[in-house]
Amino acid sequence: MPVCETRYLGLAPYGDAHELQKELAEKRKRDEIPDQFLLLEHRHVITLGRAANRANVLANDAMRAQFGVELFETGRGGDVTYHGPGQLVGYPIIKLLPGRQDIRRYVRDIQEVLIRAARDFGVEAEPRGGDFVGVWVGKEKLAAIGIRISRWVTMHGFAFNVTTDLNYFQLIVPCGISGHGVTSLQKLLGHPVEMSAVAQSVTRHFGEVFNREMSDVGGQRSEADSTSDI
């Protein structure tokens, strides 16, 4: 069973995490390191995927500055999304082995990891077809997925709303899909959920779904910055 090293990076600026991903992905392509699974939270940021429509960013420069929200263009698939404290972001940097070198299957497997993790906390989530990539509870998205694969090494990944301040999603049209809401474990359950518990659940299920031996190589969760309501 291949080893996958897990790191919790705490609260990290998007740009720093993006550079780390690129560095690790190049090393993984050269087989200099084993598979990696980065878990972290981001400071407030709106990211644009390769297919992003800038019209889906509803907040102008002044509004983003007011609420301390960065804007970052990235190489992942998908449209516009938001990251912030209280959201568990996962970046698998793994080499897909022969027999699993299928982009659609990879996305389905990520969905399965998150569905199993949500179920651990009493939430029944599900995938949806068509343009509705991610994990949903009814008409509300619990987790977003946006990936990039180069030479069958993966980058980017998922954003799972745990205790996220959902007001920040008002700054965008999430994933370019109007008429549907966004939810979190906290909203669904009516009480906060420990981020560390969600991280442990996601890590365990990632190992199960992807047939990896998950090896914790350290990293401590940082306390999220205090934020202003929108």
Tokens representing 222?
């940082």
The amino acid that residue 62 corresponds to is A
Pairwise CA distance, residues 223 & 41, whole Å = 10
CA neighbours closer than 13 Å in the CB half-sphere of residue 90: 28
Catalytic residue check, 175: yes
Q: How many residues does the chain have?
A: 230
Contacts of 208 (CB under 8 A, 6+ apart): 116
Pairwise CA distance, residues 68 & 22, whole Å = 25
Pairwise CA distance, residues 121 & 193, whole Å = 9
Tokens representing 75?
């190489």
Catalytic residue (choose from 175, 182, 199, 202): 175
51 CB neighbour count, 10 Å cutoff: 13
Phi, psi of 136 (to 5 degrees): -125, 150
Pairwise CA distance, residues 83 & 80, whole Å = 10
Instruction: Give the catalytic positions in this structure.
Output: 175
